[in-house]
Amino acid sequence: MQTITNKTLADTLYYEDIPVLTYTIHYPYFTTTCGYTTAWRINNFYRFQAKQKENYARTTLYKEAVEQAKYQKENNYPFNNYEVLSIYQITYNNNCIVSLYTDYYTYLGGAHGTTERTSETWDFQTGKRLSLSDYFPDDPMFMESILAEISRQVTDRLEKEPSTYFEDYPSLIQGNFNIEGFYVTPEGIVIYYQQYDIAPYSTGIPEFLLPFQNCTKNSNT
């Protein structure tokens, strides 16, 4: 099992006396007995991602926020400051395997913000980032099985809560499927879709659990 320390990049940026943008970017720092070199590489991966997000906030988004603040001030409109928030969640940490996802939220002054999710599952012994196919090594048709199970779960959910998914969800499930859009929990593999991929904003980020007994490999290997 790995030990995780939280690291944070945060600041509030101003235009004149107006706070136009705030950002808070959390990212993990790992220590492990499974492999010092692999931990160093994985830590660099998250450090680099965090710095990229910070740079984007301090340059591109800050410039946009300043322009918007100027316009709002000139026209006597209230200005809602921009916000960036990046939060990770460790979903599995056992032996030398770690899985996590990161939700990257941006608010640009509109009715609501947007959230984009990314995820990784690591083997700290080898340094390999595990893929979805690693959990189905003996099943060449695993993709079809996953898509069918997701469709079944959506159908069940719609019976209980109508209108929580788009009407053309069967084609959207297949067309918007991202093979990297998964993370691991003690119960199984969770497949997720981004906002608006298969459901309206109010549904959030749709998630679908595939229990480990339905896989041909468990998370301990």
Residue 111 has pLDDT above 90, yes or no: no
Q: What letter represents residue 169's amino acid?
A: Y
160-172 residue pLDDT tens: 999 999 999 999 9
Q: Residue range 85-95: average pLDDT?
A: 97
Burial call 185-209: b when 16+ CB within 10 Å, e when fewer: eeebbbbbbbbebbbeeebebbebe
DSSP state of 217: S
Mean pLDDT across the chain: 94
**In this predicted model, what pLDDT tens digit does every residue of 175-220 receive, in sequence order?**
999 999 999 999 999 999 999 999 999 999 999 999 987 665 554 5
Q: Which domains does the chain have, with CATH numbers?
A: 3-129 (3.30.565.40), 132-214 (3.90.640.20)
pLDDT of 204 reads: 95
